[in-house]
Structure 1
């Protein structure tokens, strides 16, 4: 379609790699497939070394214009003990003035504003400019359904959700077990719970919702969310919901001595023989659990690449705002591992401090399993590369993700206890690793998980390809934006 002026879209991302990375990939789709100009307003935490590195190094300047908005002054508004959702919501609220100032100076005037779920208060800016607004949900449709229905649950259910004896029912969707609710619902007296309920109301003020999933993966839930669906009727929701995923990174282009050494090591290993262990950009564990994990990997007898981070007692998301700032040398982390662990496993294991180029690793032929915190970004990277998972949920909506992966989709195995509630013992860790990573030809479950993962991988690739369900959905959004912009 020939245009006299480019269609300009502004995309607002809140702090955290789990929000920024899919926002970047969404922006790229608009640029590459629809010839849009996209400006990303990335509100940063100013505490994560990897976040800054990603913005400065991984983005392709010719594709997207990125404006880094430093985290506003939060003095007196939050403290270090406040939960992640509280801090994110307050950060984005305080950044609203800067967001408005930047948008007002962009020329030509943006045709649409796309915000993530923590930036819905910026919808008012788009209304003043009389442009379309979409909310981008970096997670999946089941999480979206729970988020949107939470204000109704708030009035229907007395007491704490985690104390309920029955699953939380959502019209037209799978029920959510009380122990699987997302973090803000764990304590209704915490400030982040009120912030969370506000997110639900904010989403429905938009002109549509883009979700990082695809039709074939979550057809039932997506149908419930759309006009005429049971959940949509219960919510009296009129806005369209588009499945535009999976939005995942391509392998990183930059090279480093660490990446080169990991790839060289993987090149020497047999096909699908290595388990990759990483808990994302924010996940942490206790010293005791770190020891059990080390022993479990050793007892499994499988090769491994482990992205190690110093243990932290307390919150499972304690590294959310500080990833990449500490323990950038293996020697700094070894002191937390069992005595002799490194020397005993030097031929079969590789330790990587703090951060690894995950997509590059998951794409490698020698990787046969992934011990993951089940962040949705990491989950999609595993699915699109056909790597079976060991689900190890830590925070946010990851318990929902783990349940969906293991019990509904058959793409993962999981421990019998929640890692945030009890220590997962070494014997169970060893069992799960052997169950997922090839080596026992008689294990029928291993074959089922792996075969099921390959099916979903093909489905994901097809959805994102030209003519696929997600490609078509995003094309519809693009046409709507162009149409609303009027003649050029």
Structure 2
């Protein structure tokens, strides 16, 4: 009997390929099925993108096929956002995806797309696949807002940023102005209209896989199942199969970061990284540096070039270092480590000395932190990160956050220092509760994926429904 075959389609960009890749690895290893990933390229002919795809292919059991993207210049405005371009590009890839499937010797049973690729689901119908699913690499609250957005679009007048009362989402925490997704900030923009369209298309699938787990978001997940408005809007089953995160890989023993970390006390170091797109202004970089110094806590800071330098032609590390206050590196020598190159985040968060993570709150980074029991200083910058910060602080209880959004105001050094001490300093009582909660979440994340755990069972329930396992 032929081995069952699942087809996953990854949107352009390494940040979209990695979650699909990790899902594919999980399906392959746990279900013992053949997985093919169609990686839609950006069309920029970037050697970095090609190298990333090849590197991903080298470390996975999945079969990865690059799918060159189509030209969409006539479909979007010149100043269209990245999110708009990705959604439109994926929708325009229907014929190429259809041709790719028809040329396969082993026909897939099921197609899985991420939320940028919901416009491709009709291609699954065209080639006669048994089922089509959507993978949400984010959490259940994000999914709820996505699918309920078309309802809000019809009942809310004016701009969401001007609302006086938080937007009510059935079965979920309301969405206030500080939780609005970036795509909701301007209802006249094409990216908002594309977001509404995605919200309408998700329930047209045969079901949704979401990167969370029952013990983390039980109330929100229950709202999708129980008879109520959210259940009626969704229409299809939701399968919590998280946490799905990158696993630790091999790191050179002589790596200077780990040489330094090995000398530090257990849970004594704050890891600071704001993601690949997390650039700060020069002024905010200075305040963050002073805050780290004033906190008196040990830190590893993966420092990106400040936004004011983004137009510069040089990529010299010296340019990054000059954004720091005079004498900062000398004064923090031995206490802190500044890294200006790529750093192995999962491996760093896994180190015994890491006691906190100052993060932009991208969901992948959040899960990498929570599965290691590391509490978070939330520093949301864009996309749905503002929602994530609220979820972490107000519902899950594993983080502290700034009083104002870092995207709207420069966060002063005193506030930075206070937040850092709260998470890392052993004597802080509120921090002790947060650290204890982070450890609880770590344990629950492991339990969810143990045999018979909630996510383990949910994955097999889904696999049986689409005939991938008997």
Number of matched pairs: 468
Matched, 1:468 2:453: yes
Structure 2 residue 87 is the aligned partner of structure 1 residue 89? yes
Q: 1:265 to 1:81 in 2, by over 3 A?
A: farther
Per the alignment, residue 322 of structure 1 pairs with: none
On the 8 A contact 2:38/2:67 being kept in 1, the answer is yes
| Aligned counterpart for 2:408 among listed residues 421, 427, 452 | 421
Partner of 1:134: 133
Structure 1: 5+ residue stretches without partners: 320-324
SS of the equivalent of 1:88 reads: helix
Tell me the C-alpha RMSD between the 2 structures. 2.3
- After superposition, what is the alpha-carbon deviation per residue over 1:57-85, rounded to whole angstroms, capped at 9, x for unaligned? 24445610111223433434446632222
Q: Return the TM-score normalized by structure 1.
A: 0.91
The aligned residue for residue 30 of structure 2 is: 33
Residue 346 (1) aligns with residue 333 (2):
yes
Q: How does 1:272-283 map to 2 (within 5 A)?
A: 272-283=267-278
Distance (Å, rounded) in 1 between the aligned partners of 2:253 and 2:17: 22
Q: What pairs up with 1:200-215 in 2 under 5 angstroms?
A: 200-215=199-214
Question: Which residue does the alignment assign to 1:106?
Answer: 104
Task: Give the equivalent residue in structure 2 for 1:15.
Answer: 12
In structure 2, the gaps of 5 or more residues are none
Aligned 1:68-467 pairs, distance under 5 A: 68-78=66-76, 81-131=79-129, 132-226=131-225, 228-233=227-232, 235=233, 237-253=234-250, 255=252, 260-313=255-308, 330-439=317-426, 441=427, 443-467=428-452
After superposition, give the CA deviation of every residue in 1:12-71 in whole Å (9 maximum; x if it has no partner): 111233322221111111111111100111123347776544422244456101112234
Give secondary structure in 2 for the equivalent of 1:12.
strand
Q: CA deviation at 1:482?
A: 1.8
Determine the C-alpha separation between the residues in 1 that align with 2:291 and 2:424: 14
Deviation at 1:214, TM superposition (A): 0.3
Q: Is the 8 A contact 1:85 1:196 kept in 2?
A: no
What CA distance in whole angstroms lies between the structure 1 residues aligned with 2:250 and 2:104?
30
* TM-score, with length taken from structure 2: 0.94
Q: 1:255 Cα deviation (Å)? A: 4.0
Given the superposition, is the C-alpha separation of residues 203 and 438 from structure 1 closer, same or farther in structure 2, using an over 3 Å criterion? same
Partners of 1:51 and 1:356 lie apart in 2 by: 18
**For the Cα contact (< 8 Å) 2:95–2:123, is it kept in 1?**
no
Measure the CA separation in 2 of the matches of 1:448 and 1:104: 55
Question: 2 CA distance for matches of 1:255 and 1:51?
Answer: 24
